[in-house]
Amino acid sequence: MSIRFSLHEGNKVLLDFPLSEKEWQPEVRDLVLKELSKSEADLDSLSEICDFFSNKKRLQMVSHMIRDCENSATFTDLLKVAANPKYVSDLVNRAPKRELVVKDKNGYSVSPIGVGSFILLSIAINKLLRNGDSINSDDKSFEEE
């Protein structure tokens, strides 16, 4: 049994495949390569999202908004996490054009794309890291021979 990547929209499966390359059947390999090609067409957006989430304070503030504030936080709420007003303004100013975090008259919130990106980057990667031994035992293709 291997770890799989699965993405659903309601009952519709958008993407589903094992993460172990060793288990990729030819049609799965084609699907993965096709999806990678699509993502390369928009590397700027992917790079901006990764850059945004590469900052620990931004990660902490986004996590706080989603986990503790029902995705709506005031400046004061965020100061409890950031401890510096500069970090709070950076949260919106550094958000890429996809507006991962938005500010309105009520305060700050994480956009749907921001929530999805954060979940994929934080929860999914943490699960992979925790289950890394099972992945590594299934797929030794990364090791030198």
For residues 19 and 87, state if they share a domain. no
Q: What is the pLDDT of residues 16-53, one digit of tens each?
A: 888 888 888 899 899 889 988 888 888 888 888 889 99
Domains held by the chain: number: 2
Cα separation, 68 vs 103, whole angstroms: 17
**CATH number of the domain bearing residue 141:** 1.10.10.10
Instruction: Judge if 96 and 140 occupy the same domain.
Output: yes
Inform me whether the pLDDT recorded for 142 exceeds 50.
no
- Single-letter code of the amino acid located at 84: N
Predicted local distance difference test score (pLDDT) of residue 46: 87
User: What was the pLDDT predicted at 139?
Assistant: 52
SS3 103: strand
% helix, strand, coil for the chain, step of 5: 60, 15, 25
75-130 pLDDT, tens digit per residue, is 999 999 988 899 998 888 877 666 899 988 889 999 999 999 999 889 888 888 88
**Range of 22's domain?**
1-41
In sequence order, what are the residues at sequence separation of 6 or more whose Cβ sits closer than 8 angstroms to the Cβ of residue 88? 61, 75, 78, 79, 82, 108
